[in-house]
């Protein structure tokens, strides 16, 4: 075993404890197909224990940002084959993160249609990467649309398998569609998909069931009691408690903290990762501003098993080698947003 816990093998499948965090770069082509530059970008980071891709749209209704890649057409699947092949040729493992943005969208991305959401509750604010457009009131999903979206997640998982991914991560964090079902602010339904913890979590667990029928390795990104794109409600913690405890009955590869800053939360008496660990018995990936040093601390203390690194891996394709050699890292700047290195 290596003296540095970051470089110890994990579960006989991952060569180290460093995970490349999912980071949307909006650099797919106009058909939402990953480019050769994206394939090279991921391949250069194959020395991490696991790569989790940027979020891949499961259907046309899932889009909320420009040029984010998707995985619902044959051309998109073929494009992802180039990515997975390059990563595997470099000795890496790669999961596809699959998502639907829900109300975090705008009709400009949806052929003029309103975004889908659990309830018709507007997200306040401006749409990123537009000329000042503002979010509007989404359309409450019908039962038929909910069932179709579950099938879309399952088909995305099947497509990921065809594309050569080692597994998928279901994105149920950061205020996007599945997370919207888990919060009282955005889920005001009174039918079988809302009104109590079990009903609010139903969409998530039906998606997990459907996805697991299509691909063996399934992880989950969660931001329990997190409030990106959401308004706080004290009742949400009961929903999060229920979800995490029930996840112990599922054979997942991991639960991944969906926080941009995983700092101490007074109402949790700890970080969100520590809260997840208290309720969930499986593999935990900590994410949210971690460095190599704070990652070592989280793993050594038992708060997490793996550490997801974000922006430092954008600025340092050779992040793993630099950390191993204790070399200085290139600092991330906004200029890195517009280039794939």
Task: List residues with catalytic annotation.
Answer: 176
| Contact between 177 and 149 (Cβ < 8 Å) | yes
Please name every residue paired with 52 in a beta bridge, in sequence order, or none if there are none: 95
| Contact between 86 and 40 (Cβ < 8 Å) | yes
Q: Return d(Cα 149, Cα 325) in angstroms, integer.
A: 46
Task: List the structure tokens of 94.
Answer: 């790669």
């Amino acid at each position: 075993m290596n003296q540095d816990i970051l470089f110890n093998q994990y579960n006989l499948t991952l060569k180290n404890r460093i995970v490349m965090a999912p980071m949307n770069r909006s650099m797919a082509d106009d058909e939402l197909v990953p480019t050769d530059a994206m394939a090279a970008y991921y391949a250069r980071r194959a020395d991490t224990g696991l790569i989790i891709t940027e979020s891949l749209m499961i259907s046309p209704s899932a889009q909320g940002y420009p040029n984010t890649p998707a995985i619902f057409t044959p051309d998109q699947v073929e494009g992802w084959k180039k990515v997975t092949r390059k990563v595997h040729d470099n000795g890496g493992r790669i999961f596809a993160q699959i998502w639907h943005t829900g109300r975090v969208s705008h009709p400009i991305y949806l052929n003029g249609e309103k975004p889908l959401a659990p309830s018709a509750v507007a997200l306040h604010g401006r749409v990123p990467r537009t000329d000042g457009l503002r979010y509007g009131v989404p359309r409450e999903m019908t039962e038929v649309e909910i069932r179709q979206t579950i099938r879309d997640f399952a088909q995305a998982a099947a497509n990921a398998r065809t594309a050569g991914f080692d597994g998928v991560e279901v994105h149920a964090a950061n205020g996007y569609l599945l997370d919207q079902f888990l919060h009282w602010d955005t889920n005001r339904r009174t039918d079988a998909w809302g009104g109590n913890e079990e009903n609010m979590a139903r969409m998530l667990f039906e998606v997990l069931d459907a996805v697991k029928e299509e691909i063996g390795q399934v992880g989950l990104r969660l931001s329990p009691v997190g409030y990106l794109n959401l308004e706080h409600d004290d009742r949400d913690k009961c929903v999060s408690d229920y979800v995490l405890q029930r996840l112990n009955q599922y054979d997942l590869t991991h639960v991944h903290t969906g926080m941009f800053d995983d700092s101490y939360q007074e109402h949790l008496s700890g970080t969100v990762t520590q809260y997840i660990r208290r309720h969930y018995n499986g593999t935990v990936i900590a994410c949210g501003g971690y460095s190599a040093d704070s990652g070592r601390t989280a793993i050594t203390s038992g708060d997490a098993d793996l550490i997801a690194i974000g922006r430092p891996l954008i600025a340092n394709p050779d992040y793993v080698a630099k950390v191993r050699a204790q070399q200085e890292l290139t600092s991330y700047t906004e200029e890195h947003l517009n280039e794939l290195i």
